[in-house]
Copies of this chain bind each other. A is one copy, B any other.
Amino acid sequence: MRMRLNAGEIRHIRTLLLSHGQSGAAQSLVSLTAPELAELLLHLHPKELLALEPLVGTERLADAMANLDPAEAARLIVRFSRGSAADILEEMGPDDATDVVEELGQGVAEDILAEMEGADAAEIRELLNYPPDTAGGRMTPKFVSIPPEASVASALRFIRLQAAEAEMIYYTYVIDRADRLVGIVSLRDLVTAEPRQRIADIMRRQVIRLPASTDQEEAARVLMAHDFLALPVVDNVGRLVGVITADDVADVLQEEASEDIERLGGSEPLNEPYLTTSLLSLFRKRVPWLLALFLAGTYTSFVLQAFSGTLERTVALAFFIPLLIGTGGNVGSQIVTTVVRSLALGQLTVGDTWRVLSRELILSVGVGAVMAASMLVRAETMQVDRSIVLVVSLAALCIVLWSALLASTLPILLQRVRIDPAVASAPLIITLIDGSGLFLYLMLARLILGL
């Protein structure tokens, strides 16, 4: 049940690995689960890695690597000889192996594929044709298929033979002579059916199938909605080319949630674990967004400069600037986060624009009143002029409403023009509110104070 080795255990194993005899290391290694072994691999120096290989064997190495992020696995696999790397990839599921190969340099990938058994290499080359974030890129070609004329008994015999090779034996797909998917039987159906029955008589004919080009997130959503263990993937003429399984989907969901979270935080997604992402790569993911937000934010200086006369005469107005634009930003951040997540979960679609907007505007009248009252109390305690108190409270109400309008519509508009709505991050909304909120505030001040 423990998922991570602690630093002491890792140090211990590393010492044993380079000591003579190695029987101690072999003993410590035998009890490690695949995720633990994966964790260990990340901490080994190249020399230790090579010492470890004969002790655990390529099959366990393959299991461990399937637990790693493909980018990490690719970095590790090139440290082995080309022959060992080929053996490890052969032991991995072809879908996982393809993800790793995609992360290798072109030349290295070709070298390793050339060392692999022909059939295994061919499977990977086939899978490399599909973009990695589609159903085709996520599927495994290791499924079991039978013709509709087969009997239940012969199907069970056939599955028995395939069990060692196939990744998913709980569903058997029924295909016609042109490889087109015509039905499905679950192992559950087979064990409860009479042995002499024909597959055609017990199979389900209404099979939900995914075109290979389906976006992986959409594929995950369909599989989850139906609580299936796997979904068949078909090419553009309806031939069964692979299956996408529930454990792949869990990975997809985690990745997609991580991407949305990173974008909502105002940065490009990392695509690999934080600690193994290089500082240079972090820099590249973050700085473009910081500069874009900076540029978008520069107009706040224009606004303030334009109103510098007003500020010079009543410097007290400046006291409330961070609090006002901060409140506007917070309201916007709450709304944008909820809307982006609901879009990602499919609970909202672009058709709901008006519903979201009207809900958020009604809500903002209440929220705005609360924030205006808070501002009033705050301004009163600072003993500024009564007219300034009025300006500040009114500005709070206006900024909350404006922020709600912006934050509830922007993500849906982005979705409509097919940009990831998570780009409408908290920092973006906050930056947009900063300048426009200031303008609202200082205009109100000019009008009410007659400056």
Q: Chain A residues in contact with chain B, CB under 8 A?
A: 1, 3-4, 6-7, 33-35, 66-67, 156, 159-160, 163-164, 169-170, 187-188, 191-192, 208-210, 214, 221-222, 224-227, 229, 246-247, 249-251, 253-254, 257-258, 260-262, 264-267, 270, 273-275, 279, 282-283, 286-287, 289-291, 293-294, 297-298, 300-301, 304-305, 308, 311-312, 315-316, 318-323, 325-327, 329-331, 333-334, 336-342, 345-349, 351-352, 355-356, 359, 362-363, 366-367, 370-371, 374, 378, 382, 425-427, 430-431, 434-435, 438
Q: Is the CB of A266 within 8 A of B330?
A: yes
A-B contact pairs, 20 of them (CB 8 A): A1-B209, A3-B225, A170-B188, A187-B187, A224-B250, A261-B264, A261-B337, A266-B330, A266-B334, A267-B338, A287-B370, A289-B330, A291-B370, A293-B330, A294-B326, A294-B330, A308-B315, A308-B319, A322-B438, A326-B434
- Whether A34 touches B298, Cβ cut-off 8 Å, given contacts A160-B191, A253-B253, A305-B319, is no
User: Which residue of B has the minimal Cβ distance to A251?
Assistant: B224
Contact pick for A3, options B191, B221, B283, B294, CB 8 Å: B221
Q: Is the CB of B323 within 8 A of A298?
A: yes
User: Which residue of B has the minimal Cβ distance to A375?
Assistant: B294
How far does the Cβ of A283 sit from chain B's closest Cβ, in whole Å? 6
Q: Is the CB of A279 within 8 A of B426?
A: no
Q: Is the CB of B431 within 8 A of A326?
A: yes
Residues in B with CB closer than 8 Å to A326 are 293-294, 297, 300, 430-431, 434
Q: Complex formed: what's the CA distance from A156 to B169 in Å?
A: 16
User: Which residue of B has the minimal Cβ distance to A343?
Assistant: B274
Which 3 residue pairs of A and B lie closest in terms of their CB atoms, listed nearest first? Answer: A265-B337, A257-B257, A300-B322
Residues in B with CB closer than 8 Å to A282 are 359, 363
How far does the Cβ of A340 sit from chain B's closest Cβ, in whole Å? 8
User: Which residue of B has the minimal Cβ distance to A293?
Assistant: B330
- Whether A265 touches B338, Cβ cut-off 8 Å, given contacts A35-B225, A229-B246, is yes
Residues in B with CB closer than 8 Å to A222 are 1, 3
How far does the Cβ of A438 sit from chain B's closest Cβ, in whole Å? 7
